[in-house]
Amino acid sequence: MRATIDSITLLHKRIGDTIELIELEDTSLADELAQETQSIEHAVSEMDFQAILSGPYDKSHAILSIHSGAGGVDSMDFAAMLLRMYLRWAERRGLTVELADESEGDVAGLKSVTLIVSGAYAYGYLKAEAGVHRLVRLSPFDANHRRHTSFVLVEALPEVDDARQVEINPNDLRIDVYRAGGAGGQNVQKNSNAVRITHIPTGIVTTCQNERSQAQNKENAMKVLRARLFEIELRKRQAEIDEIKGDYVKAEWGSQIRSYVLHPYQMVKDHRTEHETGNTQAVLDGDLDAFIETYLRQTASIP
- DSSP annotation of 33 reads H
What is the value of pTM for the model shown?
A: 0.76
3-state helix, strand, coil in the chain (%, to 5): 45, 25, 35
**β-pairing, 267-270 with 256-261?**
antiparallel
Q: Residue 246 phi/psi, 5° resolution?
A: 85, 15
Q: What is the reported pLDDT for 34?
A: 86
Question: pLDDT category, 163, cuts 50, 70, 90?
Answer: low
Question: pLDDT category, 234, cuts 50, 70, 90?
Answer: confident
Question: pLDDT category, 183, cuts 50, 70, 90?
Answer: very low
Residue 205 confidence (pLDDT) above 60: yes
User: For residue 251, with 0-12 CB atoms within 10 Å meaning exposed, 13-18 middle and 19 or more buried, which class applies?
Assistant: exposed
| Averaged pLDDT score across all residues of the chain | 85
Closest CA to 227 of 258, 195, 197: 197
**Of 89-98, 114-123, 232-241, 252-261, where does mean pLDDT reach its minimum?**
232-241
Query: Is 254 or 262 the better-scoring residue by pLDDT?
Result: 262
Q: Point out which residues pair with 62 in neighbouring strands.
A: 117, 158
Q: What is the reported pLDDT for 184?
A: 37
Q: Point out which residues pair with 134 in neighbouring strands.
A: 151, 259
Query: What is the tens place of the pLDDT at every residue in 119-161?
Result: 989 999 999 999 999 999 999 988 888 999 999 999 999 998 6
Average pLDDT for 263-281: 96
In angstroms, what CA-CA distances link 227 with 153, 165, 239, 272?
17, 10, 18, 25
Query: What is the tens place of the pLDDT at every residue in 13-28?
Result: 888 888 888 878 778 8
